[in-house]
Structure 1
């Protein structure tokens, strides 16, 4: 069955229910029999007294029968529910599915309502999909930022480790170079000390030899004491006593002079061969 045929069938059922309700209201709007009898009682109380009682008894007998008939009738067919605020007619197609249909509802209204519900559901689904996409993008961005931060931390730790290793290697190289330099300086100092000791030993040996030679030469020389006068030099004294400058070395040796410097008033030993 198509949607249009279904809506037409529903409209027919709603119209039938409305007509039944109107007939029921028309019946209920009629004056009661008691009021009718009361009006007749004014004309003749004696004549209406007993027929009125009979009518009332008949009414009370027929009333439950009528209610029972209506109850059984509406048990077989759904009874419309009347709402005084919105005035809709509610009917039931079957016992499982209950749907309220307004009395003024048409196929276009139902179609518009259905389209509106579909549009709202679609908008809601799109919004939910958009929210999920945003959450997914946010989670992905957070994961990328976390991975980037971890990579940066690893690179920083690696760079720091390389810098520490480089500094350690440089320090070891400096210490090694320093130790090597100290060893070289120590070896050089030892060499200098050895050379100095060797030179001192040679000098002592030469001095001993000179002393020995001097002792042996003293017997061959006589010593003359000479007081240095102003502006005299070893060269002049040597020329005076030896007639040559060869005596400078002899004067220096006998007087223990390291150089040619002498001072005024200084007494020098002048060795002269016998």
Structure 2
């Protein structure tokens, strides 16, 4: 066995010993299984995240370059001249008058066609917008007219209800006035009837009183055969009271003098001759 081979064998043995020692150390200082799994997950996440970020960065870098290249290509693309024959047909003439006119389509023609198409599309768009605006205006006018009709109908209904309520109030007021007038007339009639009844009762009472007074006077009227009559001529400043005091010594004779002479009051005149009744 050569020396080199010996050295290699020794090195292999030393390496094997070192590896065994390292494995033992690793076994003694091994972490928990849960930590190992967590570390694996973190490593896998890191491995996944970084390639995605690189791809996205590369995509955002290449995107504007690609757009710029495409724009440059389209701008500098050569215009192809195409020759075509346009057939002009006069509708007023027959098939015999058809004529084929050769024309050359240039970029200006294409641009003009494009502008015409754009103008036509714009005109159609404006026409459509105008029709839509007219339809909206018409719908708005119809809605306004409908709203106005509803408003007028409501106002008419409200006016009718107001007129009806006013009529009912007037009829009620009129009926109340008629009832008040009737009650007032009835009250006046009752008052008149009561007044007539009171007057009738008063007249009856006065008649009864007069009758009683007449009967009393008749009963109290003296018999002329029991009296003798003296004639007295009234002197100046004489009164019935003085004459009564002279003949009867009291004023009770005034009634007898008045009765016998038919006097209604106490008025007498100078030179008047009075009958003076004196009891026998």
Q: TM-score, normalised by structure 1?
A: 0.56
Query: How far apart are 1:147 and its partner, in Å?
Result: 1.5
Structure 1 residue 159 corresponds to structure 2 residue 166: yes
TM-fit CA distance, 1:253: 4.0
Alignment equivalent of 2:201, drawn from 191, 194, 198: 194
SS in 2 for 1:219: helix
Which residue, 261, 267, 276 being the options, matches 1:270? 276
- For 2:199 and 2:227, the matched residues in 1 are separated by 40
- Map 1:62-73 onto structure 2 (within 5 A): none
Separation (CA, whole Å) in 2 of partners of 1:243 and 1:194 = 42
Counterpart pick for 1:224 among 221, 230, 233? 230
- Report what 2:139 is aligned to: 132
Q: TM-score scaled by structure 2? A: 0.55
CA deviation profile, 1:196-234 (whole Å, cap 9, x unmatched): 2222232123213322432x5323223334454444322
Task: For residue 178 of structure 1, report the CA deviation from its aligned partner.
Answer: 2.2
1:122 CA displacement: 1.1
Shift of 1:265: 5.5
Alignment of 1:118-267 (within 5 A): 118-214=125-221, 216-264=222-270, 267=273
Alpha-carbon displacement from aligned partner over 1:79-120 (angstroms, at most 9, x marks no partner): x41489xxxx9xxxxxxxxxxxx9996022112211212212
Distance 1:153 1:198 in 2: 66
Change (3 A) 1:231 1:165: farther
Residue-by-residue CA offset, 1:148-194 (whole Å, 9 max, x unaligned): 23212322221232222123223212322321232232222222222
Cα 1:127/1:174, change in 2 over 3 Å? same
Inter-partner Cα distance in structure 2 for 1:265 and 1:156: 91
Unmatched tracts of structure 1, length 5 or more: 1-11, 22-79, 90-101
| 2:84 counterpart SS class | helix
Say if 1:128 and 1:228 are closer, same or farther in 2 by CA, change over 3 A: farther
The structure-2 alpha-carbon separation of the partners of 1:230 and 1:270, relative to structure 1 and needing over 3 Å to count, comes to same
Cα separation, 1, equivalents of 2:273 and 2:201: 38
Aligned CA distance change for structure 1 residues 228 and 111 (closer, same or farther; 3 Å): farther
SS of residue in 1 equivalent to 2:266? coil
What is the distance in 2 between the residues matched to 1:266 and 1:139?
114
- Whole-angstrom distance in 2 between the partners of 1:266 and 1:17: 172
Aligned-partner Cα distance in 1 for 2:249–2:90: 168
SS at match of 2:277: strand
Q: Which runs of 5+ in 2 are unaligned?
A: 1-81, 93-97, 99-108
Aligned CA distance change for structure 1 residues 266 and 109 (closer, same or farther; 3 Å): farther
Aligned residue pair count: 184
2:84 corresponds to: 16
Aligned to 2:115: 108
